[in-house]
Structure 1
Amino acid sequence: MAAPSEIRLKRAEQLLEVAWSDGARFRLPAEYLRVESPSAEVQGHGPGQKVIIAGRRHVGIMRVEPVGNYAVRIVFDDLHDTGIYSWEYLRTLGVEQEARWATYLAELGARGLSREPARRG
């Protein structure tokens, strides 16, 4: 899997823009990257164990750190930082963004959850 030709953090827009040498370009919102984190916290430790993360509509990205020549670690402002986003996984997230996002929204609805953060009070 080829590495992205450019990764640009757009803090104001809360997204990561990833460009590839073949011309593909994806704009991946922070919320989408957070709820699709490759971490065990989100994906679980085996098939069918994925956790649905709610309340992250306003999550931002604090920084993006390189991991060798194969991945990045994304540090979110909710302090989640354990996911290693390989080039292959980033590409998959871009290609499957529409379908994955629709599945996520359907799962939230089925569980009576919201993208909005829980109110404290």
Structure 2
Amino acid sequence: MSLIASDFSYLPDVKVLGERAPLVSKKKDGHSSDYSSYLNAKGDADIFFPTDFLLLERIDHYCSGWLKLQKDKSSKQGKKRRTIMLDPSLFMEEFGQPSRTRTKDGYNPLLDDFKNTKIYLSVPTHNTK
């Protein structure tokens, strides 16, 4: 089975303390305001968590049966997986049509936006090397 995912890899200006802390933000009348705790949001904010893509890769490989934990004594080995993590601009250059999405002033949302996201691609392979 293949896995394709895209999400935030980091969040700028997070006010909540902690590793991989969420961004808690609301938008009202076109203006964003961030909270220092999800407890202060009281149902009127969006909560964004960054994804740890290296951890996602380990989970993906473990769930596919390829990567085993040291404590796991089973002999079942899944198929090896090939994974890549790309910035959206690289993904769009490879698989999109950036020449068709460029604006008259040269701005290209497919290449210039979403700098804080990653695209994760994982497929099984028969290659044993």
Normalising by structure 2, we get a TM-score of: 0.23
RCO higher in structure (CA 8 A, sep ≥6): 2
Normalising by structure 1, we get a TM-score of: 0.24
Larger relative helix fraction = 1
Q: Which has the larger radius of gyration?
A: 2
